[in-house]
Structure 1
Amino acid sequence: MRAMWCGFALGVILLQRQAALPGWGAWLGLILVAALAAGLAVWALGGATSLDAVLDAAEHSPGFGIARRWRIASGWAAVWLAASCVGFGYAAWRAELRLADGLPAAWQTRDLDVSGYISSLPSYGANGASFLFRVESWGGREASTAATRLPHLIQLSWVARETPLPPLVPGARWRLAVRLKRPHGNGNFGLRDAEAAWLARGVRATGYVSDPAHARRLPVDADGVGVRIERARAALRERIVAVLGDAPHRGIVIALATGAQDSVSDADWRLMRNTGTSHLVAISGLHLAFVAGLAGWIAGALWRRARWRGVEAPLVVPAQKVAVAGALLAAAVYAALAGFNVPVQRALWMLAVVALALFTGREVARSHVLGWALGLVLLRDPWAVTAAGFWLSFCAVAAILFAATGVPRLRRDAPQDLSPDEIDPMRDRDEPQPGARTGGARRFAVAAVPRGGWRRAAQRFASRAGDSARVQWAVTLALAPLTAYWFAQIPLIGPVANAFAIPWVSMLVTPMVIGSAALPAPLDALALRAAHTCLDWLAVVLGVLEGVPWAVLRLPQPGAWPLACAAVGVAWSLAPRGWPLRWLAPFTWLPLLVPAPTGAPPGAFRLTALDIGQGTSVLVETARHSLLFDAGPGPESTQAGERIVVPYLQAHGVTRLDALMISHDDSDHSGGAQAVLDSIGVGQFVAGILPAHALWASAREKGAQTVQCAAGQRWQWDGVDFEVLWPDPGPLAGKPNAHCCVLRVSTAARAGQEPVSALIAADIEAGVERTLVAREPAQLRAQVLVVPHHGSRTSSTEPFLDSVWPLVALFQVGYLNRFHHPHPGVYARYAARHIVLARSDADGAARIEARPGALAIERFRDTARRYWMDPPEQN
């Protein structure tokens, strides 16, 4: 079953990497390949029912020759292939069903009436709340004539404007006027895909309540198991908020109790990411195991003391089975409160498989338990493989199991009269006896343990401490490549931080948080305050560890080749003692830890126009320098500076900006600058903002040199020329758009090769364009143009375009933005000149590679397209 579930998972992973779902021809080919592979597996494996049986036959049968070995190997390869085809087909079938629900493109941005109920725990922010809404009926004539199945689940935001938010209770039925759009996320190279997360949750439209004043609460609330669970989560959160108020770590307590992480503060997230303890915020398998173990112990203890009509209860049903049943029930309840995230699902399924094996009197190996959990998680949610939690959870458990069983700890010279407690506590029932052989298990014998008092206690403590250290080392090593891929960093201080944080949270904080849910008032308040006090002390310790200079190793997001090499290094490093050439394992990490330079070659530059919604942020990179032009919206809007710009810089190895240029004071250009200054080192801060603006002082506090941008400023990096064309030197006057920074970047000139230039025009309008054209039209000539003012009708005049005469034009605009940028007439003006166009709302981020005499463009939704993305004509 291990091979089958692993092959099934491989097929699911392959489907989630596809740009389109399979057609009829692909389906027929898939079925044919699966049938042929299944037939080959049946023929090659013969009567062998498992890999263990094959290995036993190979060891004990003298006639088991090379031909038979090749036949067995081909049989197991066929099992993998058949299972992969099944997994691919299953995931494609589920995707077809989910994508069948869709909002008609013509309905986007219209006022629609929907009736239904709140189906999730609301997430509260500074300006309102967001929640999942289960649609029961669509109002209006259009709904009855819709050509497609309409979405059943939508995500809504309710913004508090003139009136405060009403009580948003899970299960409450409402009739709402909403404005919706098809699921659309920002598309940027190397960053998280929000559309995949929406698809996994079943969300097929997003939007907001357009007329809160006329929202009407319907009399009868929805009921059902899911709604009751969400109500319980909401009640528990309200209870915590009432007790802790605005306590700094209140969000962590809420996350441990309900699994909702929206209340965790940015400071707490930053502290835990940098110390490698973020997993403690999520309700994980560790927490679920604690709850299950405690419940199982209580259930077993009570059952051993129970009697029924004079008959002791254990004589009717063994206490061990009752304990396992109690543990499974408690784990299921806790998993429901946690929202069934992937780590919790994995732990719950593993516990369920073990419980089933116990009830049926069968023994099951640890690897089989993990394999079943892998398959059951993907059967429930084939899109789980697109989330970091899936990979981190399963790889961590695999490393733990390997570390717990893969190193021989016992010797052959053991006395035979030891009690079971004196034998290795990590040994499973399915592990072999001395000299036995089972599928890959290692030979061992029982070790002598000192019988004398304190020596035996010290030996046992040292043994368990060694086990813990070995497991922590294995997990840290196994997850390092994944954390580098998903988070662009490896917290080197993580093993030390976790050695303290894991037992602290597991043995103190989590029991008090869980206990508060069952305790009556005022004992629940005492437990919650005690848990928060423990978190205060934990934050102090983690803060000290975070201050260590080498605490975090930041790396660019690795590609497939460095990841593969690091994975080989992980398996090689964790291999048993005696494995050949283990000392070479660290060298396989070099492509990950010492990545090749990713900048443009000398004399060339790379320009990346990020997809940040409505706003501007452009990264310009030369061989050894980088400049960020604008930083997108900030906390007052979409927080693109923190959500997109900073993660993109970190994922691409930009740990320091030589220059941060903020063109002007509009929030969609300057709002994210503070997030960049807080997270990325900046050498020079250049801006077209008024002297009293707070960003000047903030930049100086961060150690950046501050300069007001002005026409005539020139510099050169790595053979690439930079020149500011606007505004004129002197005090800034007029509205912000009138004194935007305008930057021109040009490659080096080489014999026989013309230089390539890019013009970044910010939000200049027609008046500034006329001034620039009148001064020196040739100075505006550029092959790449970041379109002025997002393509508004007040810019991109005919004389300006004739002077620039671009080959490529980049529009940074939000999807269905309220300004209706780009203006249709302006867009047609560019198209009439046969300019290659890229717009962030349809194409995602655009990357330009410019070198003397050569120019190339790469669009995110072309190179990284997935089947759940709308085709360009529907964007």
Structure 2
Amino acid sequence: MIALAAGLLSLRFLPALPPLWVLLLLALGAIALLFSRVPWLGIFLIGFVWACLSAQWVLDDRLSKDLDGGTLWLEGRVSSLPDISADGVRFDLEDIGGARAPLPRHLRLSWYGGPQVQGGERWRLAVKLKRAHGLVNEFGFDYEAWLTARRIGATGSVKDGKRLQPASGTAAWREAWRQRLLAVDANGRSAALAALVLGDASGLTKQDWQILQDTGTLHLMVISGSHISLLAGLLYALVAGLARMGAWPQRIPWLPCACALALLGAWSYALMAGFEIPARRACVMISLMLLWRLRFRHLGLWLPLLGALCLVLLFDPLASLTPGFWLSFGAVELLIFGFAGRLGRWAWWRTWSRAQWLMALGLTPMLLALGLPVSLSGALANLIAVPWVELAVVPLALLGSLLLGMPLVGEGLVWCAGGLLELLFRLLAAIAALASAWQPMSAPVWAVSLAMLGALLLLLPAGVPLRLLGMALWLPALWPHSLAPDYGQAEVRVLDVGQGLSVLVRTHGHAWLYDAGPRSGDFDLGERVVVPMLHGLGIGRLDMMMLSHADSDHAGGALAVFAAVPVDKVISGEPQRLPRQLVAQACRKQDWEFDGVRFSSWAWAGARESNARSCVLRIEAGGEVLLLTGDLPLDGEQAWLTEHPQAHVDWLLAGHHGSRSSSGALFLRSLAPEAVLISRGRNNPYGHPHPQVLQRLGSLGIAAHDTAEEGALKILLGTRRPLRGERENARFWREK
């Protein structure tokens, strides 16, 4: 079982999938090894081959490159509860047909400003389709891995549509239940109760998510293994309690009935919540645990856990791409490790506090490895919130939801559940105000491995020799060494922020940010991309944030950055158009030097519109030059050339994301850059980069590097080394 699990888990770390003929040879070799002296090696290869085949089928189901960016009419059924927000609705589509070309089996669609969409309905839609493509940066959320794990072959935006059939099936039943639940007065928390009962987290506000993240209680507000386990445990305890009190019929064995009732409750709750990956994982674990309790208790607790791990990965090898997979199995392993073999009976309060200590300490290295924030108040918050939610809110919400047909009883229970939840959120907000989540600097694999070993040592029983050595093993992971560039060099990163711009410049002891990425509604790339990059690199302060101009694709993420890290100075070509929280100075011609790297800024005095007011930044390290021009148009480029007649640059950031209104032929010939960097969104509606710009570059022999194709771009200015795109760090799920 260990060999099988290792083979299945190895998929997560592959840069590319082996060819089919290699997998065939490995499968034949595995069969032969099963009858040798090392059968475990054959079992490992069987797990590896099966995982690779499963992943290859998902990749083969992706949208064809010929259809990428095109608009098609298609038909399909809404397969789950749609995520409803202020600007539109997002939903999954399956049972797809009616198109002129083969399409993936599962699509993830967005419809902005469209009509109401409900789960279980069948629609005919005009959709602009996109391949399963996401922003690729060194740190932050990996959208392509998330799409691959959910087996989504393409995303798209709906342009028009017509409802063909009303809602039907399980999704329609869940949708009707959601609408009834949302209509109940639950002290303003009906949307949060829908998350607990039906797994619909779309109603939680951004502020709610932030509070939950800061207090380490995110797992409590969505259907997770703990909720399903709780229900199964309560049903098991009900039968066991009746048997212990002598109220259970003696002719009927109570243990099989308790296990069967717990199993039925767990699977019913999971189906009601949409049977997503976490619910399926929990059901498998509970099923094996109940089977162990019924027949195999003498074999120890590790056996059902290992069996659950193998079963989950056999049914869904791509589960290992999700952080929840590692955290859920890690949590159970820690509980077994922390409680197994202890002598004597502990008081309930000691057991409960011990469990929170195990989670807080033991899961922290895993959070570091996954690049997730660590809650400094998580142990205290969970000590209160877990019993509050799982012993009071969830039972009341479930019972009230089931009894909504009896208005006074059902609505009263839901009202009580909502009131308890509102009180909890107020308490969690107070705890979060004392200590918010900490996003540490990214640590190397060896440092995280040492921290994991240190956590296990600290969790050993008191009196074990060398137990306190675990504290020292944490140090390299909590305070890793920052790999800043050498004196006289500058590390420049053009972040992959889609249709926008953000450039991070770091010298030996300082850091600057040129533009902060776009923001559209609640979708803030400053928060989702720029801030994780700063935290991952260990940058706790910015010497300057230069916002070329105030358009939202350049300055939209500035407030999120300003709230996340201290910023000494803000400079912009349009300071008067920025939010009032950003007290900015006007861009002007200025030169300065830090750590042996020279900077110079410039603003066009004759500018008459927003793009023309873009602040230009020139960076020189060791004679190697980079020029950033924001959205400066052609006549602005000529003005810059007039003041810098002998200028030469090695790297040029294409103005206005590659628009034909910038990067003029005279400008390119005069500067003679070796390469041009283009920051833009894939399949953007503006047609960037424009074919005329690409033709100019090609005719002058200038290389073009594109964030939409290569991911974030990294240059070590002053070394004259080749540029490196983040997509060169290969992962099998990343589109080449």
TM-score (norm 1): 0.79
- Partner residue of 2:611 out of 730, 737, 741: 737
Q: CA deviation at 1:10?
A: 2.6
Is 2:320 the partner of 1:374? no
Secondary structure of the residue aligned to 2:353 is helix
- Partner residue of 1:257 out of 173, 192, 197: 197
Is 2:429 the partner of 1:543? yes
Residue 109 (structure 1) aligns with: 69
- Partner residue of 2:582 out of 693, 699, 704: 699
Residue 625 (structure 2) aligns with: 757
Q: CA deviation at 1:330?
A: 0.7
Is 2:343 the partner of 1:409? yes
Matches within 5 A, 1:188-587: 188-211=137-160, 215-219=161-165, 227-228=169-170, 230-244=171-185, 247=188, 249-298=189-238, 313-315=249-251, 317-358=252-293, 360=295, 363-406=298-341, 408-410=342-344, 424=345, 463-519=347-403, 520-548=406-434, 552-587=437-472
Residue 717 (structure 1) aligns with: 594
The answer (yes or no) to whether the contact 1:251–1:265 under 8 Å persists in 2 is no
Q: CA deviation at 1:299?
A: 5.3
User: How much identity, in percent, do the aligned residues show?
Assistant: 34
Q: What per-residue deviation string (whole Å, max 9, x for no partner) do you get for residues 559-617 of structure 1?
A: 21211111221222223445432222211111111110232222211111111111111
Q: Using a 3 Å threshold, how does the CA distance of structure 1 residues 637 and 405 change in structure 2: closer, same or farther?
A: closer
The answer (yes or no) to whether the contact 2:187–2:415 under 8 Å persists in 1 is no
Q: What per-residue deviation string (whole Å, max 9, x for no partner) do you get for residues 332-370 of structure 1?
A: 011123333444333322221133345557644211111
Which stretch has the larger CA shift, 469-478 or 601-610?
469-478
The answer (yes or no) to whether the contact 2:494–2:502 under 8 Å persists in 1 is yes
Q: CA deviation at 1:204?
A: 0.9
Is 2:89 the partner of 1:129? yes
Matches within 5 A, 1:779-858: 780-851=647-718, 853-858=719-724
The answer (yes or no) to whether the contact 2:625–2:651 under 8 Å persists in 1 is yes
The answer (yes or no) to whether the contact 1:488–1:651 under 8 Å persists in 2 is no
Which letter maps to 2:5? A
Q: Gapped runs of 5+ residues in structure 2?
A: none
- Partner residue of 1:868 out of 705, 716, 733: 733
Report how many aligned residue pairs link the two structures.
Answer: 734
The answer (yes or no) to whether the contact 2:503–2:514 under 8 Å persists in 1 is yes
The answer (yes or no) to whether the contact 2:488–2:596 under 8 Å persists in 1 is yes
Work out which of the two has the higher radius of gyration on C-alpha atoms and give 1 or 2. Answer: 1
Q: CA deviation at 1:793?
A: 1.0
Measure the CA separation in 2 of the matches of 1:738 and 1:637. Answer: 28
Is 2:132 the partner of 1:180? no
- Partner residue of 2:4 out of 8, 20, 24: 8
Measure the CA separation in 1 of the matches of 2:372 and 2:541. Answer: 14
The answer (yes or no) to whether the contact 1:807–1:836 under 8 Å persists in 2 is yes
Secondary structure of the residue aligned to 2:631 is coil
- Partner residue of 1:159 out of 95, 112, 122: 112
Secondary structure of the residue aligned to 2:147 is helix
Secondary structure of the residue aligned to 1:269 is helix
Measure the CA separation in 2 of the matches of 1:768 and 1:637. Answer: 33
Q: CA deviation at 1:554?
A: 3.3
Q: CA deviation at 1:475?
A: 1.6
The answer (yes or no) to whether the contact 1:663–1:742 under 8 Å persists in 2 is yes
The answer (yes or no) to whether the contact 1:709–1:727 under 8 Å persists in 2 is no
Q: CA deviation at 1:815?
A: 0.6
The answer (yes or no) to whether the contact 2:587–2:602 under 8 Å persists in 1 is no
Q: Gapped runs of 5+ residues in structure 1?
A: 44-74, 144-148, 411-423, 425-459, 701-705, 748-753
Residue 775 (structure 1) aligns with: 643
Q: CA deviation at 1:132?
A: 0.9
The answer (yes or no) to whether the contact 1:555–1:651 under 8 Å persists in 2 is yes
Which stretch has the larger CA shift, 532-541 or 797-806?
532-541
Secondary structure of the residue aligned to 1:661 is strand
Q: CA deviation at 1:201?
A: 1.8
Measure the CA separation in 1 of the matches of 2:153 and 2:694. Answer: 29
Secondary structure of the residue aligned to 2:407 is coil
Secondary structure of the residue aligned to 1:401 is helix
Q: CA deviation at 1:790?
A: 0.9
Secondary structure of the residue aligned to 1:809 is strand
Measure the CA separation in 1 of the matches of 2:121 and 2:222. Answer: 27
- Partner residue of 1:634 out of 504, 519, 522: 519
Measure the CA separation in 2 of the matches of 1:23 and 1:764. Answer: 47
Q: Using a 3 Å threshold, how does the CA distance of structure 1 residues 93 and 625 change in structure 2: closer, same or farther?
A: same
Q: CA deviation at 1:131?
A: 0.7
The answer (yes or no) to whether the contact 1:196–1:383 under 8 Å persists in 2 is no
Measure the CA separation in 1 of the matches of 2:4 and 2:700. Answer: 51
The answer (yes or no) to whether the contact 2:110–2:156 under 8 Å persists in 1 is yes
Measure the CA separation in 2 of the matches of 1:401 and 1:304. Answer: 26
The answer (yes or no) to whether the contact 1:488–1:557 under 8 Å persists in 2 is no
Q: What per-residue deviation string (whole Å, max 9, x for no partner) do you get for residues 709-759 of structure 1?
A: 12x22222222222102233xxx9521111001111112xxxxxx422211
- Partner residue of 1:615 out of 496, 500, 507: 500
Is 2:491 the partner of 1:600? no
Q: CA deviation at 1:628?
A: 1.3
Q: Using a 3 Å threshold, how does the CA distance of structure 1 residues 305 and 472 change in structure 2: closer, same or farther?
A: closer
Which letter maps to 1:760? L
Q: Using a 3 Å threshold, how does the CA distance of structure 1 residues 101 and 660 change in structure 2: closer, same or farther?
A: same
Measure the CA separation in 1 of the matches of 2:551 and 2:306. Answer: 53
Measure the CA separation in 2 of the matches of 1:709 and 1:399. Answer: 55
Q: What per-residue deviation string (whole Å, max 9, x for no partner) do you get for residues 664-689 of structure 1?
A: 12221111212222323222111122
Q: CA deviation at 1:325?
A: 0.7
Q: What per-residue deviation string (whole Å, max 9, x for no partner) do you get for residues 501-559 of structure 1?
A: 1122222222222222112313333223322322232233223322336x544311222
Residue 859 (structure 1) aligns with: 725
Residue 671 (structure 1) aligns with: 556
TM-score (norm 2): 0.94
Q: CA deviation at 1:8?
A: 2.7
The answer (yes or no) to whether the contact 2:369–2:445 under 8 Å persists in 1 is no
Q: What per-residue deviation string (whole Å, max 9, x for no partner) do you get for residues 366-414 of structure 1?
A: 11111111112112221111111111111111001111114x334xxxx
Q: CA deviation at 1:294?
A: 2.4
Q: Using a 3 Å threshold, how does the CA distance of structure 1 residues 648 and 339 change in structure 2: closer, same or farther?
A: farther
Q: Using a 3 Å threshold, how does the CA distance of structure 1 residues 356 and 755 change in structure 2: closer, same or farther?
A: same
The answer (yes or no) to whether the contact 2:140–2:528 under 8 Å persists in 1 is no
Which letter maps to 1:830? L
Which letter maps to 1:235? A
Measure the CA separation in 2 of the matches of 1:272 and 1:680. Answer: 21
Q: Using a 3 Å threshold, how does the CA distance of structure 1 residues 717 and 84 change in structure 2: closer, same or farther?
A: farther
Q: Using a 3 Å threshold, how does the CA distance of structure 1 residues 314 and 353 change in structure 2: closer, same or farther?
A: farther
Is 2:52 the partner of 1:92? yes
The answer (yes or no) to whether the contact 2:186–2:416 under 8 Å persists in 1 is no
Q: CA RMSD in A?
A: 2.6
